[in-house]
Structure 1
Amino acid sequence: MKPITSLKLSLALFSVSFFWGTTYLAIRIAIKSVPAIYIVGLRHFMAGMVLLAYLFISKKMVMPTWSRTKHNIISAFLMLVLGNGLTTYGEHTVPSGLTALLTTLSPLLVMLLNLSTGKEKPSYQIVWGVVLGLIGMILIFFNSLSQLVNPEYRIGIACILVAILCWSIGTVYSKSGSKNSVNIFVDLCTQMLFAGGGLLLLGFAIKVPFDVYNWETTHILAIFYLTFFGSIAGYISYLYALSKLPSTSVSVFTYFNVVVALYLGWLILDEQVTLRLIFATAFILLGVLIANYKKKTPTPAVQDVIIEK
């Protein structure tokens, strides 16, 4: 792998791990006064408009083929509309900690989908990485496991589980067409405008109140944060990483999202960091390292070539 490509991939994986970890807090802030459908719709639509402006200003705008457009629309519907949308809606009733725990099922689902469809053949390393990450998550949320049977969270948990399934299917589907991408920014712009515009129109159609004047400034700023760091930086990094690595390997990095969210709580909100959390972080880190470890292939020795006359 070339050094520049390696650096880009490292930055992309850092963005997926870190920025998406901060979106849990941003969603919890925004949802206090902004309806879920508008949080998701606005963040993606604004992200799409920003990318569209960038493409025209930089003169990199190319018209995608219908086949590519269809692929982007299906990916957007699975991952952004259903994945992000149902997760955000579920956070109306489900605590963010339990939401984070449930979303860690995604790497496992991606691995199982790859096995069942034969699109990828996860190695023993990836399997162990997924398992160690799940153990880390169980350690973190051990006290929250009883909440899974709380009847008050039943609808929210169902929404989040459907969201995770859709996101996982979308990840595998998006990976299958990553080699046919002409411009990743065009792909992202198409997906964002479709998902964001569609959700906004749906919100208006079913008459969800759009009372901007009743939205608090902090909650609006949270939507802008989700736009630039969740939708643009995070999602484009996810798509780029999918184009370079197996989908299960990329999804394993999302384990870091929860760790980032918890340590931000310690840093900003003075929440307690326990010994169990430290052990859990070690399991997650080990799982990610094992899933993505590659042995260095030895450079073959140069041998003398004897040319017979």
Structure 2
Amino acid sequence: ILFASDVAVWNIAIQESSATQASLLTNLSPVWVGIGSFFFLKTKPATNFWIGTIVSLFGMVTLVGFEFFIDLNFDQAFLFAVLSGILYSIYLLVSKNVLSTVDVLSFMTISLMASSIYLGILCYSLGEPFTGFSDAGWFVLVLQAVICQLCAWLSISYATQHMRATRVSLSLLSQAVITSILAWLFLEEQITLQMVFGGIILLFGIRITFYDKTISLKELFSKN
């Protein structure tokens, strides 16, 4: 239910605003994961995580462009995008506990079946269509099901089982960099110097969280 609700509100946020706004606000999930880990998990977030989160979010903002925030609308889509990040962070924290006793394949099978049934009931209740899509539409849906859902979430669940939830959530911010590169290769979208700079900052922030010992900002920059 947590996972399906995250998917539902995120798609609504995209429909009612823009993919950029929805993705950026959803990617605040590392903050919520850190707060949730602090209160509910035995392994508390290290100082490195908070430093890395701040650096990564600054990199994300730089990549998207500061002018984006001037046109930011604090409407229902804004709230849904933030809610999506909160739901995802709760899902990740719950998954971390469950995956300590359940194997990844069993976890994903039960999770995807339950979320599919829940989303089916939700769509039926809201009068959303299940048929009538074009051939291209069905192809995209199948492609998303196999790659974006099955393969990607198997990978994320495996990572969640073997890594700290805080590191997993922050590492997923790298998708913004990968998306920009793919858009440049296949959609002929332009990559600016600002985007490159923002991507480097973002990846550097993720790298900070993987230091094995807690370090100060002075030590961090002296090493890099």
TM-score by length of 2: 0.88
1:256 aligns with 2:174: yes
Letter aligned with residue 209 of structure 2: A
2:85 to 164, 176, 182: 164
Letter aligned with residue 90 of structure 1: A
| Unmatched 5+ stretches in structure 2 | 214-224
Number of the residue aligned with 1:184:
104
Letter aligned with residue 128 of structure 2: V
Counterpart Cα distance in 1 of 2:125 and 2:36: 35
Letter aligned with residue 227 of structure 1: A
Letter aligned with residue 86 of structure 1: V
Counterpart Cα distance in 1 of 2:22 and 2:180: 13
Q: State percent identity of aligned pairs.
A: 22
Q: Secondary structure in 2 aligned to 1:179? A: coil
Counterpart Cα distance in 1 of 2:67 and 2:23: 14
Counterpart Cα distance in 1 of 2:204 and 2:127: 48
1:224 aligns with 2:135: no
Question: CA shift at 1:218, angstroms?
Answer: 2.2
TM-score by length of 1: 0.65
Q: Is the 8 A contact 1:111 1:122 kept in 2?
A: yes
1:271 to 163, 175, 189: 189
Letter aligned with residue 78 of structure 1: L
Q: Is the 8 A contact 1:87 1:163 kept in 2?
A: yes
Instruction: Check 1:125–1:216 CA distance in 2 against 1; reply closer, same or farther (3 A cut).
Output: same
Q: Is the 8 A contact 1:78 1:169 kept in 2?
A: yes
Number of the residue aligned with 2:220:
none
1:88-111: CA deviation from partner (whole Å, max 9, x where unpaired): 121111111111211220111101
Q: Is the 8 A contact 2:23 2:81 kept in 1?
A: no
1:71-130: CA deviation from partner (whole Å, max 9, x where unpaired): xxxxxx112x11111101211111111112112201111011111234321112222221
1:192-230: CA deviation from partner (whole Å, max 9, x where unpaired): 1111122113322443233x23x1222222211211111
Counterpart Cα distance in 1 of 2:129 and 2:145: 21
Q: Is the 8 A contact 1:89 1:159 kept in 2?
A: yes
1:1-57: CA deviation from partner (whole Å, max 9, x where unpaired): xxxxxxxxxxxxxxxxxxxxxxxxxxxxxxxxxxxxxxxxxxxxxxxxxxxxxxxxx
1:98 aligns with 2:21: yes
Number of the residue aligned with 1:203:
123
Number of the residue aligned with 1:294:
212
State which structure, 1 or 2, has the greater radius of gyration over its C-alpha atoms.
1
1:88 to 5, 11, 29: 11
Counterpart Cα distance in 2 of 1:117 and 1:109: 12
The runs of at least 4 consecutive aligned structure 1 residues that moved more than 6 Å come to: none
Number of the residue aligned with 1:174:
95
1:78 aligns with 2:2: yes
Number of the residue aligned with 1:144:
68
1:244-275: CA deviation from partner (whole Å, max 9, x where unpaired): 11100011111111111222221112111111
Question: CA shift at 1:242, angstroms?
Answer: 1.0
Q: Is the 8 A contact 2:63 2:196 kept in 1?
A: no
Number of the residue aligned with 1:305:
none
The CA RMSD measured in Å over matched residues stands at: 1.6
Q: Is the 8 A contact 2:55 2:202 kept in 1?
A: yes
